[in-house]
Amino acid sequence: MGDPFVGEFLANGEDDQYYLKIEKTSDGRYQGAILLEGEKILLTAQRRGEAIIGMVNEDGDIYHFEAKVREDGSLCFEDEDGESIIFQPTHTVNLGSPKNAELPSPADSKSVQSSAKEREVYINRVKLDADKLQDLEAKYQVHIAEGKYWYDANCGAWGVEGGPAAGFIMAGLDLPRPMPGDISGGGTGIFINGREIHPLDQQGLHRLFGITYTGRYWLDAQGNLGMEGGPPIVNIVAAVRHSQTKQAGKSITHGYGSTYRGRGTLAGDGQGGHMYSGRTATGKSVFWYPGM
């Protein structure tokens, strides 16, 4: 019996069809792509027990998922927001022309390697060497632009040095540590996982909870937030979900929402604050404040 996660699959969403192709690499990982309305969304994953866990990369926006095999051989994909979609195996679906369906080729890898040697990328003020940069881009199917960034390994938050959180990726990646406490510029007196957060991060927290307090806090990859040494006191993910209902019918624009590379849709809250939106692996819109 072959690997049940390898092959071509088809799913029907509310309004769209999803085509999925997954292959297994020589080192035991999985890579592939989801095609939706002609758009190719890359994915990478690794086996964990009876499931695979991984991430999809939609033009630099990273979303996490878990997939399990059901008794009928279909795959149940569940995204980080708890939404799920069922992919049925198929031998008749063509994922499109090689241009759209092909996975990275050795030639692509050489191009990535050449590009990596030309770029200077700093994480937490440590420069990544070309081999490390190439490995990251090949493993997670993402292009890392030249620049200086910070990365919080405890919760997966990242941003440009001197700026607020621009989004979340997988926590615990093998990237330089520790994260300097002043790497976002600070000035707020609020420390999360050792980083003094940027004023825009503080504004995001204030919009969510109506108040902020100076102090030292921890934040994990599930969104639990608490005082250092203490139990969780709030869950940011739940707070953002709750705030979604308040955004219905508000003004919507598209593009870059900040000078700190916060991609996605920008929704005004009527009070001078904004939320950015993206899309999960199942196509559902999700919202977050800068710094969340």
What mean pLDDT do residues 160-173 have?
Answer: 87
Q: What are the pLDDT digits (tens) for 60-118? A: 677 888 999 998 888 998 887 788 888 888 753 333 433 344 444 444 444 444 445 57
Q: Is the previous residue joined to 178 through a cis bond, with omega within 30 degrees of 0? A: yes
Band the pLDDT of 225: cuts 50, 70, 90.
very high
List of domains in the chain: 7-101 (2.40.128.520), 146-238 (no CATH)
Whether 67 contacts 73, CB under 8 Å = no
Q: Above 60 in pLDDT, residue 149? A: yes
| Residue 28 DSSP symbol | S
What mean pLDDT do residues 9-24 have?
Answer: 81
d(CA 126, CA 86): 42
Between 267 and 83, residue with greater pLDDT: 83
Between 14 and 36, residue with greater pLDDT: 36
Whether 222 contacts 235, CB under 8 Å = yes
Place of tokens 């899309």: 279
Note the pLDDT of residue 246. Answer: 60
Q: Above 60 in pLDDT, residue 285? A: no
Between 119 and 189, residue with greater pLDDT: 189
Q: Above 80 in pLDDT, residue 289? A: no
Highest mean pLDDT among 106-115, 167-176, 228-237, 240-249: 228-237
Q: Above 90 in pLDDT, residue 220? A: yes
What mean pLDDT do residues 211-220 have?
Answer: 95
What is the number of residues in the chain?
292
Q: Above 60 in pLDDT, residue 194? A: yes
Q: Above 90 in pLDDT, residue 41? A: no
Q: Nearest-5° angle of CA 210, CA 211, CA 212?
A: 140
- Residues with Cβ within 8 Å of 64's Cβ and at least 6 positions away in sequence, in order, are 53, 54, 55, 79, 80, 170, 281
Measured in degrees and rounded to the nearest 5, phi and psi for residue 10 equal -135, 140
Strands 7-12 and 84-89, bridge-based pairing: antiparallel
Q: What is the largest CA-CA distance in the chain?
A: 59
Q: In Å, what is the CA distance from 130 to each residue of 112, 122, 123, 172?
A: 10, 11, 13, 21
What mean pLDDT do residues 265-269 have?
Answer: 36
d(CA 289, CA 277): 9
Highest mean pLDDT among 23-32, 52-61, 88-97: 23-32
Note the pLDDT of residue 98. Answer: 37
What mean pLDDT do residues 281-288 have?
Answer: 39
Q: What is the chain's mean pLDDT, rounded?
A: 75
pTM attached to this predicted model: 0.53
**What share of the chain has pLDDT > 90, as a percent?**
29
**What share of the chain has pLDDT > 70, as a percent?**
70
Q: What residues form DSSP beta bridges with 158?
A: 151, 167
Band the pLDDT of 267: cuts 50, 70, 90.
very low
Note the pLDDT of residue 1. Answer: 57
